[in-house]
Amino acid sequence: MLARNATKAELAQLYQALAGVATPEQAAALLEDVCTIAEVNEMAQRLEVAFLLDAGESYLAIQDKTGCSPTTIARVSKALNYGPGGYRAVIDAASATASGAGAAAGDAGRGL
């Protein structure tokens, strides 16, 4: 039997759960419960690609740093530039947090 797509109500419940997470520890626990470790790792890697693209890194440099395929990098680039704004919101929030704290922590936490 083929799995069905999630209903609008199920998706809304997931989005509400994600929006309700208050700490990185709670986010980690939720993601580890909902996703496989491989899925969490892939999401983390894609987010890193988005940060690197936003910083002006080349596809080749990003591929070397992350091990991501050019296809994945292009997909993240497309979402970053033309998607609904999820990557942009996270990048901007991390930037604002880092600026507000005066931190130049590099990759460590990215102010999230």
Task: Give me the DSSP letters along 37-57.
Answer: HHHHHHHHHHHHHHHHHHTT-
* Entry pTM: 0.83
The reply to whether 62 falls in a domain is yes
pLDDT in tens, 29-85: 999 999 999 999 999 999 999 999 999 999 999 999 999 999 999 999 999 999 999
The stretch 1-13 carries a mean pLDDT of 90
The reply to whether 84 falls in a domain is yes
Name the nearest CA neighbour of 87 among 28, 60, 95, 13.
Answer: 95
Asked if residue 112 has pLDDT above 70, the reply is no
Q: What is the CATH number of the domain that holds 97?
A: 1.10.1270.10
State which amino acid sits at residue 65: K
Give the domain range for residue 67.
Answer: 36-101
Residue 27 — very low, low, confident or very high, per pLDDT cuts 50/70/90? very high
The reply to whether 96 falls in a domain is yes
Q: Count of domains in the chain?
A: 1
The reply to whether 16 falls in a domain is no
